Amino acid sequence: MNSHHLNDSIWIKYSDLINEIPVLKTEDKQLLLKKDHFIQKEDSLSLYLVTIKKVLQSNEIAPKSYITPAIKQMILHQRKLLLLRNIEETLIKDATKKQQFEIY
């Protein structure tokens, strides 16, 4: 028997919820996304229990816990780009000093 659960303190996109629990596709989206709404669905293999605690609209500010991983990835990516630029500049300066370069 497989058991899956989503932590009750995480934020998840509607599309990800539907992909995770396909039987919810038949639910009315407006009804499904009501605040403090409890849903019990089952298919031939599983029983799904879902509680929607809070819903944010697309124009609202995302919770910090939801965007923190994305921000960390962006910062890490920027640091990698900066490091690559610094390495490239150092290589060019060293090659220029030693006259070990060719212009194509």
* 40 against 76, higher pLDDT: 76
CB atoms within 10 A of CB 30: 7
The domain locations on the chain are 1-60, 61-99
Average pLDDT over residues 71-88: 98
* 96 against 80, higher pLDDT: 80
SS3 53: coil
Q: Check if the beta carbon of residue 95 is closer than 8 Å to that of residue 101.
A: yes
pTM above 0.85, yes or no: no
- Amino acid 92 reads I
pLDDT at 1 over 60: no
pLDDT per position as a tens digit, 16-70:
889 988 888 888 888 888 888 888 888 888 888 888 888 888 889 988 988 999 9
29 vs 27: CA distance, rounded Å? 6
pLDDT computed for residue 2 by the predictor: 59
